[in-house]
Amino acid sequence: MDMAVDCKPGEAFNQVVEVNLKVEEPGKDNVHNNAFYAEEELLRSELQAMRDCNPLAARHWIVRNTRNVNRTGQLTGFKLVPGSNCLPLAGSEAKFLRRAAFLKHNLWVTPYAHDEMYPGGEFPNQNPRVGEGLATWVKQNRSLEEADVVLWYVFGVIHIPRLEDWPVMPVDRIGFMLM
């Protein structure tokens, strides 16, 4: 997703922030032991922005414009909220991961580049070809601060077959929200 939040053509004023919820320590500010807070981390570079879902921290990501604020004074942006998700259940040396190395993380962030369109490379079925796809592009470790950012959100499902799934598997829904 090429985000360009509140940017005019040619502008690049976006950044990506990871948000994790943390439980507040018990004490005078948390007498009922039920308080929590949001901790933000600015993802400054491509290698830092290879991220995975974490439902235990209600992890989500926000793409925001660094120059525009809404009527409450907050930077304008969109929140990417993961849905049900999983990473591949395969060893790190599985052959299909040579062609689909992008499956190793749920979120990748790159600055926009017109020739970076296919996360597995231009011809993934003819791989292993060296130097193609997300896993290679991010090695440049380009800056993501005030950039035209592209989110590569990877989501998948693992299906354990049951007798009732034959001859046709019922629907399994998966997705995410952009708020």
Class of domain 2-178: mainly beta
Hey, what are 139's tokens? 């090695």
How much is the pLDDT for 104? 93
How much is the pLDDT for 95? 83
Q: Cα 47 to chain center, whole Å?
A: 12
Q: Where are the domains of the chain?
A: 2-178
d(CA 109, CA 50): 7
pLDDT tops 80 at residue 125: no
Q: Residues of 57-82 as b/e, b for ≥16 C-beta within 10 angstroms?
A: bebbbbbbbbeeeeeeeebebbebeb
Hey, what are 2's tokens? 């090429």
How far lies 104's CA from each of 42, 63, 94, 128, 177, in Å? 21, 22, 11, 16, 21
H/E element holding 135? helix 134-137
Q: Quick one: average pLDDT of 46-67?
A: 97
DSSP 2: B
- Model pLDDT for residues 78-91, shown as the tens digit of each residue: 999 999 998 999 99
pLDDT tops 90 at residue 27: yes
Q: Which of 112, 113, 139, 109 is nearest to 43 (CA)?
A: 109
Q: Quick one: average pLDDT of 153-178?
A: 87
**91 residue type, one letter:** G
Torsion angle of the four alpha carbons 175, 117, 98, 174, in this order, in degrees rounded to the nearest 10 = 10
Q: Cα 105 to chain center, whole Å?
A: 8
- Model pLDDT for residues 31-51, shown as the tens digit of each residue: 999 999 999 999 999 999 999
